[in-house]
């Protein structure tokens, strides 16, 4: 069983230091064509990404809310500058801290750990099209780490990250750029798919 995790492009608000609104659309105009295998199911975490990922991958996708990014609650749409220095510090350093009506890093990791535990016995490999913070969480969990380690790993947007399961989770690739050569290395040539 393999998880082919594609870290989606960052949301436009994130690039402006704003907590993303829940249904914000991504700017995907500069993305290269996808070389995703048509034989593997694709799971995503946000309904707002269905239309463009189906067009990009030329495959049907399934939304699994457990694979969504962290819920920022009342902070959605707010600038980092609008937060008090104390709240910003807690948000950045305390994995138990959650924004009002939102989710802590730990809560997100518990959700992802449960999903990872459920998927490991799947008979077929899966492609995930999820936020980079979700990929980071899955990779850290696969390595036996938790939310406290989140600041020690960067996952590049628009990159492939591969996890495999046989008795235990393994990390096979991290932040590999998305292009035809990479796709052939990860998935095999088109004639192999």
Residue 140 has pLDDT above 90, yes or no: yes
Q: Which residues contact 91 (CB under 8 A, 6 or more apart)?
A: 83, 97, 99
DSSP helix/strand/coil, 163: strand
Return the closest-CA partner of residue 152 out of 164, 161, 139. Answer: 139
Alpha helices in 58-192 (DSSP H): 85-93, 105-119, 132-142, 180-187
Kindly report the CATH class assigned to 2-192: alpha beta
Residue carrying the six token digits 């938790």: 146
Per-residue pLDDT tens digits for 2-60:
999 999 999 999 989 999 998 899 988 877 766 777 888 999 999 999 999 998 888 89
**Integer Cα distance of 161 and 52 in angstroms:** 20
**Integer Cα distance of 150 and 136 in angstroms:** 7
Residue 191 has pLDDT above 90, yes or no: no
Tokens of 50: 């269905």
Count of CA atoms in the C-beta half-sphere (13 A) of 176: 20
Calculate what percentage of the chain has a pLDDT beyond 70: 92
Determine the pLDDT at residue 58.
85
Question: How far apart are the two ends of the chain, measured CA to CA in Å?
Answer: 16
Residue 193 has pLDDT above 60, yes or no: no
Calculate what percentage of the chain has a pLDDT beyond 90: 68
Beta carbons within 10 angstroms of residue 2's beta carbon: 19
Tokens of 67: 């694979």
Per-residue pLDDT tens digits for 75-98:
999 999 999 999 989 998 999 999
How is the chain split into domains, by residue range?
Answer: 2-192
SS3 content of the chain, % helix, strand, coil (to 5): 40, 20, 40
Cβ atoms 142, 174 nearer than 8 A:
no
Average pLDDT over residues 167-173: 93
């Amino acid at each position: 069983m393999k998880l082919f995790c594609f870290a989606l492009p960052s949301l436009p608000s994130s690039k402006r230091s704003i907590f993303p609104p829940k249904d914000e659309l991504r700017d995907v105009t500069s993305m290269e064509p996808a070389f995703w295998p048509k034989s593997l199911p694709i799971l995503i975490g946000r309904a707002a990404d269905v239309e463009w990922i189906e067009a990009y991958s030329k495959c049907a996708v399934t939304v699994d809310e457990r694979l969504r990014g962290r819920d920022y609650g009342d902070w959605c749409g707010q600038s980092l500058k609008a937060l008090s220095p104390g709240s910003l510090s807690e948000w950045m350093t305390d994995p138990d801290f959650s924004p009002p009506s939102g989710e802590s890093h730990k809560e997100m990791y518990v959700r992802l750990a449960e999903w990872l535990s459920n998927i490991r016995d799947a008979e077929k490999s899966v492609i995930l099209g999820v936020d980079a913070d979700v990929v980071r969480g899955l990779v850290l969990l696969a390595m036996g780490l938790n939310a406290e380690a989140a600041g020690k790993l960067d996952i590049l947007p628009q990159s492939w990250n591969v996890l495999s399961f046989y008795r235990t989770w393994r990390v096979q690739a991290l932040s590999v750029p998305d292009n035809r050569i990479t796709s052939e290395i990860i998935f095999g040539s088109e004639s192999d798919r």
